[in-house]
């Protein structure tokens, strides 16, 4: 007869911050030009291998890392086949993205001008009431947001205090939407 262990799991280790977020890229040099030459993120590390370290699977690749000022990275895998990651057909293009913080609205506007002068289509400036943002796609079809806070830290802390109540209200609303769509059991 199996027994169930009802002891509490050990506390979660504190997550210090983002080390890197990685995607597949079509071409590592094209990606480098975009992130290093256009956005100003220095190429900081390159890993080349013929085998996946975690599985031993044969798959020649290069893994490139671009460093942000806070010490975290944006990273990409080039698998040597000139294929970009495919977007999910059930997710709108605006949903999956990475948002990178700049210091000011002036920096945001300067980045927008620089991107547009390089032929990149930029959406925004969009006012989200607590941040302002611009949006664009990198050469791999990944949506990138540049954003800057526009409210004092005290206002952000007030939002944090009511975040759980806001999420609970959304959970109720989502159930209502699913019922109205006839997808309550999905």
pLDDT tens for 90-110 read 999 899 999 999 999 999 999
Band (pLDDT 50/70/90 cuts) for residue 5 is low
Taking residues 154-180, what's their average pLDDT?
Answer: 93
> Does the domain spanning 92-150 belong to CATH 3.20.20.70?
no
Between 88 and 39, the more confident residue is 39
Residue-level length of the chain? 186
Between 66 and 186, the more confident residue is 66
Residue-level pLDDT at 182: 87
- Three-state SS annotation for 147-179: EEECCCHHHHHHHHHCHHHHHHHHHHHHHHHHH
Q: What is the CA radius of gyration of the chain?
A: 21
Q: Please, what's the b/e burial string for 71-105 (b: 16 or more CB within 10 A of its CB; e: otherwise)?
A: ebbbbbbbeeeeebeeeeeeeeeeeeeeebbbeee
Residue-level pLDDT at 3: 59
Residue-level pLDDT at 6: 72
What is the topology classification, in CATH, of domain 17-84? 2,3-Dihydroxybiphenyl 1,2-Dioxygenase; domain 1 (3.10.180)
């Amino acid at each position: 007869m199996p027994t169930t262990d009802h002891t509490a799991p050990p506390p979660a280790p504190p997550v210090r911050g983002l080390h890197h977020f990685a995607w597949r890229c079509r071409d590592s040099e094209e990606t480098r030009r975009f992130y290093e030459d256009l956005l100003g993120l220095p190429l900081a590390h390159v890993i080349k291998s013929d085998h996946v370290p975690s599985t031993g699977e044969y798959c020649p690749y290069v893994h490139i890392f671009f460093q942000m000022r806070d010490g975290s990275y944006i990273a990409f895998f080039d698998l040597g086949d000139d294929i970009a990651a495919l977007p999910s057909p059930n997710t709108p293009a605006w949903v999956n993205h990475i948002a990178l913080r700049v210091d000011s609205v002036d920096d945001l506007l300067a980045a927008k001008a620089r991107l547009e002068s390089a032929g990149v289509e930029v959406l925004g400036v969009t006012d989200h009431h607590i941040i302002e943002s611009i949006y664009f796609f990198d050469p791999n079809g990944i949506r990138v947001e540049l954003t800057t806070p526009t409210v004092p830290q005290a206002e952000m802390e007030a939002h944090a205090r009511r975040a759980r109540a806001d999420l609970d209200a959304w959970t109720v609303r989502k159930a209502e939407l699913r019922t109205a769509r006839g997808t309550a059991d999905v």
